[in-house]
């Protein structure tokens, strides 16, 4: 054990000596390892940060929530031309399913539509995410309010011109004034503000729900656009009861809606039953693909870095041939010489890897402040980066170390004279 500790100490001294005596050569050799480790860990850190952000945003949602619509949220085997022929989900179908389905806690009707400007006196907030929904949405999303309330069943069914504003929208329009009861203009019509949501922070909600949204009764938009309009995507949102058989419920929805629409036996469903857990599976698949792509691209940098380290180690063996001969003549075994150069290669690579990790950390800190998005360099990625550097050092240093250990002591001393 003491022998290996002494070897490690001497190898570290030789590695640092190489850095000091041949600064440019060593730095250029280490650059490949630094870039390789930087590339891999930067990609993994960015992908992990994105994955963590998405998972955190979706954690507030019930992953069993079902979105019934004419469009698929993920990859599908149904050809595009056939999907374009699917009829839009109708309000009457939402009303039918609401009473016909079992094991459902709640359901609502929603339009996915474009953003709008909201005006109050001389102030205008542009590109506001509009969320036209029925009154049940508040319970499905478990919305919380800073002031006021959500619209009730009567206001929802009649399409009354009332609006619930997201926290940020209300602040921009009214600043410190009380928004409740004030009148704003949306879609060229006057809407009365009846509620303001509690601030949630940046997050992901399917179809709305964040601080930059405005919620209005879907029947207002239905009266404005009609039942068939390309400007909106009609969706029935279904929240199953806790512990419900999701696959069984999906089968029931399919059977009920096929029967309601008169879809013949043997024909495919002319609608899609999207489930949030499937959406998260698609995200996991995408994240995995990004990681694989990052590994492949960054692998070339590591390959170049490995060649650079192998080159500097061969040069180091050549320069220290005389010293190797003296060590062997004094009784140093082949194993001692081999480990000496092997440890040196590993130490050089780890130094290059640590520089790469330091660069990732610095850039992550800068981007976190500039973009308001938390880039995280996890301990797992730090360990991975350091381990990769050590493995590259081991692989790159093995041939030079073996060649050094096999030198004949007499020939080695003679060649150095």
pLDDT at 24: 73
Taken in order 67, 70, 72, 76, the sign of the CA dihedral is positive
Contact between residue 134 and residue 217 where contact means Cβ atoms under 8 Å apart: yes
pLDDT at 399: 85
Taken in order 119, 125, 131, 136, the sign of the CA dihedral is negative
Joined tokens for residue 50: 């994105």
> Which DSSP letter does residue 114 get?
-
Joined tokens for residue 227: 């039942």
pLDDT at 117: 92
pLDDT along the chain (417 residues), means of 10: 68 67 73 83 82 68 81 80 87 91 90 90 88 92 88 93 92 88 92 90 53 91 81 89 85 90 87 76 74 77 79 76 74 74 81 88 85 78 86 85 76 64
Contact between residue 211 and residue 78 where contact means Cβ atoms under 8 Å apart: no
> What would the 3-class secondary structure string for 13-58 be?
HHHHHHHHHCHHHHHHHHHHHHHHHHHHHHHHHHHHHHHHHHHHHH
Contact between residue 380 and residue 53 where contact means Cβ atoms under 8 Å apart: no
To the question of pTM greater than 0.75 for the whole model, the response is: no
DSSP characters over 117-148: EEEETTEEEEEEEEEEE-TTHHHHTT--EEEE
pLDDT at 75: 75
pLDDT at 207: 47
What is the length of the chain? 417
Comparing C-alpha atoms, which of 24, 136, 28, 7 is closest to residue 352?
28
End-to-end CA distance of the chain: 34
Chain mean position to CA 46: 8
> Which DSSP letter does residue 311 get?
H
Could you tell me what percentage of the chain is helix, strand and coil, using 3-state DSSP and rounding each to the nearest 5? 55, 15, 25
């Amino acid at each position: 054990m003491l022998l290996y500790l002494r070897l490690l100490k001497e190898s570290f001294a030789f590695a640092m000596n190489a850095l000091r005596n041949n600064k440019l050569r060593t730095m250029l050799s280490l650059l490949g390892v630094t870039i390789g480790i930087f590339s891999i860990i930067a990609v993994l850190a960015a992908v992990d940060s994105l994955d963590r952000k998405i998972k955190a945003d979706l954690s507030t949602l019930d992953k069993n929530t079902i979105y019934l619509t004419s469009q698929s949220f993920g990859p599908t085997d149904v050809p595009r031309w056939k999907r374009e022929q699917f009829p839009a989900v109708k309000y009457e179908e939402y009303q039918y399913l609401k009473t016909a389905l079992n094991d459902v806690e709640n359901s609502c009707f929603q339009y996915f539509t474009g953003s709008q400007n909201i005006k109050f006196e001389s102030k205008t907030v542009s590109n506001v995410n509009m969320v036209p929904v029925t009154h049940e949405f508040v319970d499905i999303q478990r919305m919380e309010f800073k002031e006021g309330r959500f619209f009730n069943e009567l206001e929802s069914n009649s399409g009354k011109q009332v609006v619930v504003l997201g926290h940020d929208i209300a602040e921009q329009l009214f600043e410190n004034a009380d928004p409740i009861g004030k009148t704003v203009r949306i879609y060229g019509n006057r809407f009365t503000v009846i509620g303001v949501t509690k601030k949630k922070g940046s997050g992901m909600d399917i179809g709305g729900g964040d601080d930059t949204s405005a919620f209005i009764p879907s029947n207002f938009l239905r009266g404005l656009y009609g039942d068939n309009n390309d400007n909106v995507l009609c969706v029935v949102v279904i929240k199953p009861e806790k512990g419900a058989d999701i696959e069984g419920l999906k089968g029931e929805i399919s059977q009920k809606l096929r029967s309601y629409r008169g879809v013949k036996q043997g024909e495919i469903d002319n609608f899609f039953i999207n489930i949030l857990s499937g959406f998260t599976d698609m995200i996991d698949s995408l994240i995995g693909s990004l990681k694989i792509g990052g590994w492949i691209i960054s692998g070339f940098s590591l390959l170049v870095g490995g060649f650079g380290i192998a080159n500097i180690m061969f040069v180091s063996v050549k320069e220290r041939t005389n010293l190797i001969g003296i060590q062997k003549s004094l009784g140093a075994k082949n194993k001692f010489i081999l480990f000496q150069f092997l440890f040196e290669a590993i130490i050089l690579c780890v130094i290059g890897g640590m520089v790469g990790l330091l660069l990732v950390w610095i850039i992550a800190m800068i981007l976190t402040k500039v973009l308001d998005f938390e880039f995280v360099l996890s301990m797992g990625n730090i360990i991975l980066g350091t381990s990769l550097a050590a493995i590259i050092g081991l692989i790159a240093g093995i041939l030079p170390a073996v060649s050094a250990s096999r030198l004949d002591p007499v020939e080695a001393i003679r060649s150095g004279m």
